[in-house]
């Protein structure tokens, strides 16, 4: 089982759109795929038409009084399951703080379903927190969407330092540009000049397109309802770059 997390310290950069579309593409290939919506705002859960509720909430999952597999929900797509968000996830840091090995709890929970899935996606809230530390330990790859702007590059630097300072094994970081508009000179300049001698930067750029915003209306991955669209093709290219072997 390989675990990929869409993560950034900043919000509004395309984490959920990426997680939803790549999870769909993974499942479409025949991989048994799970997406865990860790964000209490529950955007991914909404897009997959699932009620944002987990029995017992965050506390029940973290303390294992409610088994992880009992909280899983099927989606409308073959091979793709969802672990829904719950508003109680806003308190997950507190729940994790009360457990042993508090930075490795989420990884331990995922290990309980390791035989059931080939690929797991974690759609993460924007933060630097105990949940974030758990994500680092649980993940093989961090997918980091960046809006092509100066502050986003500063955030990437902060994130790479956060990962470098973490204890134990560290996930591979793969950053990529998201919500890009090449009509803007700043976006073009940042995409063309970002240093590529440190963090891995994917070649694929996800453009800022209205059809991606339509995911909220269609409540489906853009790769499902508009498979021939430019946006869908870009997500396919990104998946080809980051797909686990």
Would you state the pLDDT for residue 177? Answer: 96
Q: Max Cα separation, the chain?
A: 53
Can you tell me the distance from the alpha carbon of 50 to that of 19, in angstroms, rounded to the nearest whole number?
A: 16
The sign one gets for the Cα dihedral 217, 220, 223, 224 is: negative
Would you state the pLDDT for residue 78? Answer: 98
CA-based nearest residue to 230, from 13, 21, 15: 21
Question: Cα 184 to the chain's mean position, in Å?
Answer: 27
Ranges of residues in the chain whose predicted pLDDT is under 70: none
Domain residue limits, the chain: 2-136+210-242
Would you state the pLDDT for residue 196? Answer: 77
What three-state secondary structure class fits 97? helix
Would you state the pLDDT for residue 208? Answer: 96
Can you tell me the distance from the alpha carbon of 12 to that of 195, in angstroms, rounded to the nearest whole number?
A: 23
CATH of domain 2-136+210-242: 3.40.50.300
Would you state the pLDDT for residue 64? Answer: 87
């Amino acid at each position: 089982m390989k675990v990929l997390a869409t993560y950034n310290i900043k919000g509004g950069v395309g984490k959920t759109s990426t997680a939803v579309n790549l999870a769909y593409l993974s499942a479409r290939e025949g991989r048994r795929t799970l997406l865990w919506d860790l964000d209490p705002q529950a955007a991914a859960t909404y897009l997959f038409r699932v009620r944002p509720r987990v029995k017992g909430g965050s506390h029940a999952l973290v303390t294992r009084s409610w088994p992880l597999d009992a909280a899983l929900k099927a989606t409308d797509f073959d091979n793709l399951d969802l672990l829904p968000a719950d508003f109680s996830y806003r308190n997950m840091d507190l729940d994790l703080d009360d457990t042993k090995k508090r930075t490795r709890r989420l990884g331990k929970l995922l290990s309980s379903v390791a035989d059931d899935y080939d690929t797991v996606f974690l759609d993460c809230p924007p933060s630097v927190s105990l949940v974030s530390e758990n994500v680092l330990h649980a993940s093989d790859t961090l997918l980091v969407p960046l809006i092509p702007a100066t502050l986003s590059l500063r955030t990437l630097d902060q994130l790479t330092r956060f990962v470098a300072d973490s204890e134990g094994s560290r996930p591979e970081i793969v950053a990529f540009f998201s919500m890009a508009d090449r009509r803007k000179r700043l976006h073009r300049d940042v995409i063309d000049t970002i240093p590529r001698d440190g963090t891995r930067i994917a070649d694929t750029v996800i453009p800022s397109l209205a059809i991606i915003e339509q995911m909220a209306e269609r409540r489906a991955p853009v790769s499902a309802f508009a498979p021939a669209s430019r946006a869908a093709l870009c997500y396919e290219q990104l998946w080809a770059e980051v797909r686990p072997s």
